[in-house]
Every structure is written in structure tokens, then in C-alpha cells.
Amino acid sequence: MLLNNLLLKIVEKVKGDKTGVYLKMLMKNENISIHDVNKLQLTLFNILFQRIIQNSHPYYSQFKVNFQNSNSLFETLQTLPIIDKSVIRNAGKSWITQKESLTICLSTSGSSGIPFEIHHSKESYEIKGAGKERALARFGIGRNEFQMSFGCGYTSSSSTLISKIKLYIHNRIIMNKLFTDITRINKKSLQKNIEDIILKKPTTIWGYPSFIKELACYGIDNNIKFNNPNLKAVVISGETCNDKMREDIIQFFKVPIIDEYNSNEGFLASSCREGNLHISEDTVFMMVRKENGELSLTGRGELILTQLYSSAFPLINYTQGDIIEIVDNHCSCGSNFRIIKEVVGRSGATPIHNGDEIIGIPVFNHVITKSIYREKIAQYQLVQNKINIIEIFIVLRNENQSLDGFKNFMQEIFYNCEVKIHLVSNISREKSGKFKDVIVNIQ
């Protein structure tokens, strides 16, 4: 642990990485007053907007904002238009305000259309990372404590031995993380995963709640005695986690759950020790647009997001696509950051069934995104109404394009099921307005 911390500090010093510095800054904001939260948000947005104007942004340069007469950021933002994701997508590279080579690009899966690229400055990317570390710090978990991460796409595509060694040194020795690929989940792999957690004794486990739930239920059903005195928390991300899943996870692992609301736009929220999902009010600003069009700081509606550090790629009054419910309840943890009661837009936690295997929704999205067919597909949606049938609806970018081989590709993934491919002209959104890439109607 001491070696890991020393190496991390050396690497950050050499690279000029300020994640650790930003973490200290965010921790100081944890229990500031509501008045100071409002003041901080206005200050950060003022700095952000001035930077954008100085860089002659092609869209925002036409607007003037009077900060002197504003009492809150909520009031200020109502003088600026709401920006749909399509506007930024159509603007392309012109939306970036600094040299593209200096930005860090993150891309969505693009299930509802063309993958959406978001470019972070070094500062906003490191603050995003610091937000993730703050979520752990709330539970007494220090930087670089050993984490086992269960996800997809962890198998290295590096072609040379040297590059593989470099990747191992960065992940395992410097970052103190062990990555396990869960592209396929079955009874044998679940047994092995639990044995590894007991043997390797991580401080935290990270994964999609649908997978962590499968681990917990397998352990409970098979009377496995879980013993890892080092484990402090289970970190879940990317999907909805219902009450039953939480009960199963806590019953087996016997540690609290840390829920993180993380996206390409930024680290949006994370849970406290009381189990409430607090907005990262010192790095992002959220409001909701209700069905009647009213903008509000609380209530249920479409998330309107402003990233307070995204001067390289402005996200101001941005329609991120999720439907959320915000409440302004007092939390006994001491934080004055507002609470997200529900994120409706997250992927469902019911996994796709493939015989005796299950495949998580994020895993399926990753497989599609990285496939050779992705450039031909404008929209896709998987529907499973029967345990032995997978239906995939596809909207092609060009109706004259061929999708030869795609069915066989999907059949290799879902080899225990019959795969049916439907080419359609459009895929409808949910009533909530959110596009669902996977719909599983099997309990």
C-alpha cells in the first residue's frame, strides 16, 4: 500500500496530474453551507463562462451574462438557452475551445444514434477522477486502496509484450486495481470470482449492480461463508439497483454500498453513509425540466446539466438524456448537497439471459460498440421476452448497406438462444423520453 501511494505520487508529479490536489479541494466542500454552495457555483460558472468567451466559442460568444445582479446560478442559467445533445453533435469539432490534442475524449455507446464524443480538458478530467475518489473517502477509504473491478473490455488489446507490461504496471502496481472481465457469467465463473475476492482481500469491489447481485445470490444460495476482513464497501455504477438487490448484496458481503452516478460528462453524484445519492454540487449543476416545461431545482423531470469545469467543451444547460427526481431533504450526514431520489434513465438491472449464463446490459453495449458493424448501425435495441429468444432491432445509417455476418456475430454471443434480427426504420423511445437499448421482460 505504501509503495503504491509513493509510486502514484511520483507519477502524478512527473505528469503534472492534480487529481490528489483536487480531491483535497472537494473534501473541503463536503459540509459547506447552502449559502456557500450557491456562492461557489456562481463563482465557478463566472470563471467558466469568461474562459469560453475568451476562447471565442462559436455559439456562446453571442451571449452576455450579468453576474452582478444574479443571486443564484439557477437564476443565471435561465437567461441562457437549453442545449440539446444533437446541437453539440452537429457542431462537431467546432465545439472544442482548445487544441483537440490536449483534450481527453470520452465516447458514449451511441445506442440511440451516433456515438457522442465529449472532450475534457486536463483539469475537468482530473476533477472527474477526484469526484470518484471523494465517493470512497466518505467511507474512510483512502487513495489507492486495493480494488477489484469487474467489468467488460478489460482484456488488453496491446499487441506487444512491452505494452502489456506497461499496462500491468499502471493498473496493478500504480493504481492498485485488479481488473476482471465479465463478458460471460456462469456458475463456474461466479464461484471463481468469489474465491478470488476471499483470497486476494480487496478493500473495495467495483461492478455493475446486476453482476454484484449475481455474485451475492450465488454465494447465499450455495451457503458460501464470505470472509474478507479488509473489505470496506461494494461500489456499484452504471445501472439501477433496486432494494432487493441491495439487501442481497449487503447480506452476503456485509459491507455498505457506494452508489456512483458517473457519466462521460462528469462525476455527477455519489452516495453518503446514510445511503443518499448527493449531487456533486461543487463540480456540476443540475436542474430538471418538468413535463409542463418548468425548470426547477427539485422534482421529477428531464435532467438539465451544467458542467462547471468544462471550458474546453462547454456543457451548459445540456439535455443529458436522463430522467431524474431531485429532493432537497436534509441529510444527517451533514452535506447540504441536494439528493437524487431516483435516476430513471439508467439501464435496467435485469441481465440478458443466455441459457445458464447471463450477460449484463453494459457488456452487450460494449460488444456492439467495439464490433466492426458499429459504423453501419444508427440505432439498436435488444428485446428479450422469452428466455430462449433474443430479438435485436436495427436501424441502419444507410438502408442500402449490408449487415452480412451480424446475425452470426450475435449468435456467437448468445449461443444458447435463437437470435432474430429485425431491420426497422425507427426505434421508439420510452414514455419518459429515455431511449432503452435493452429491454428484458424476464424475471
Q: CA 120, 123, 124: angle at the middle one, nearest 5?
A: 45
Which of 68-72, 340-344, 393-397 shows the lowest per-residue confidence on average (mean pLDDT)? Answer: 68-72
Q: What gap in Å lies between CA 146 and CA 203, rounded to an integer?
A: 5
Overall average pLDDT of the 124-151 stretch? 95
Question: What pLDDT does residue 109 have?
Answer: 58
* pLDDT-based confidence at residue 105 (cuts at 50, 70, 90): very high
Every domain of the chain and the residues it spans: 1-352, 371-440
Question: What pLDDT does residue 434 have?
Answer: 64
Cell numbers for 420: 432474430
- Packed helices 243-253 and 209-221: angle between N→C axes, nearest 10 degrees: 50
Contacts of 91 (CB under 8 A, 6+ apart): 58, 59
* pLDDT-based confidence at residue 186 (cuts at 50, 70, 90): confident
Beta-strand ranges (E) seen in 225-327 are: 233-237, 257-263, 266-271, 277-279, 284-289, 295-296, 299-307, 318-327
pLDDT at 214 over 80: yes
- Of 115-124, 147-156, 161-170, 422-431, highest mean pLDDT: 115-124
Q: What gap in Å lies between CA 299 and CA 49, rounded to an integer?
A: 27
Cell 469487474 -> residue: 150
Contacts of 309 (CB under 8 A, 6+ apart): 44, 48, 121, 123, 124, 127, 266, 283
pLDDT at 110 over 80: no
Contacts of 169 (CB under 8 A, 6+ apart): none
Q: Please report, rounded to a whole number, the percentage of residues in the chain having pLDDT higher than 90.
A: 57
What average pLDDT does the chain have?
88
Overall average pLDDT of the 216-239 stretch? 94
Overall average pLDDT of the 414-439 stretch? 82
Q: Which residues sit opposite 382 in a β-bridge?
A: 392, 438
pLDDT at 114 over 70: no
Which of 190-194, 337-341, 347-351, 434-438 shows the lowest per-residue confidence on average (mean pLDDT)? Answer: 347-351
Q: Is 411 exposed, middle or buried (0-12, 13-18, 19+ CB in 10 A)?
A: middle
Residue type at 417 in one-letter notation: C
Cell numbers for 238: 452504471
* pLDDT-based confidence at residue 431 (cuts at 50, 70, 90): low
Contact 92, 420 (CB under 8 A): no
Q: Is 154 helix (H, G, I), strand (E, B) or coil?
A: coil
Q: Please report, rounded to a whole number, the percentage of residues in the chain having pLDDT higher than 70.
A: 93
Q: Is 279 helix (H, G, I), strand (E, B) or coil?
A: strand
Q: What gap in Å lies between CA 206 and CA 246, rounded to an integer?
A: 14
Q: What gap in Å lies between CA 177 and CA 252, rounded to an integer?
A: 22
Cell 471550458 -> residue: 311
Picking from 155, 264, 147, 246, the residue whose alpha carbon sits closest to that of residue 206 is: 147
Q: What pLDDT, in 10s, does the model give residues 250-260?
A: 999 999 999 99
pLDDT at 332 over 80: yes
Cell numbers for 346: 439508467
Q: What are the backbone dihedrals phi and psi of residue 160, each rounded to the nearest 5 degrees, phi first?
A: -105, 155
pTM value is 0.84
Question: What pLDDT does residue 299 have?
Answer: 96
The answer regarding whether domain 1-352 maps to CATH 3.90.1150.10 reads: no
Contacts of 77 (CB under 8 A, 6+ apart): 45, 285, 287, 306, 316, 317
Q: What are the backbone dihedrals phi and psi of residue 429, each rounded to the nearest 5 degrees, phi first?
A: -85, 165
Which of 14-28, 116-130, 154-168 shows the lowest per-residue confidence on average (mean pLDDT)? Answer: 154-168
Instruction: Write the DSSP string, 310-322.
Output: -TTS--SSEEEEE
pLDDT at 183 over 90: no
pLDDT at 21 over 70: yes
* Distance set, CA 280 to CA 205, 308, 316, 409 (Å): 22, 10, 16, 40
Question: What pLDDT does residue 312 have?
Answer: 94
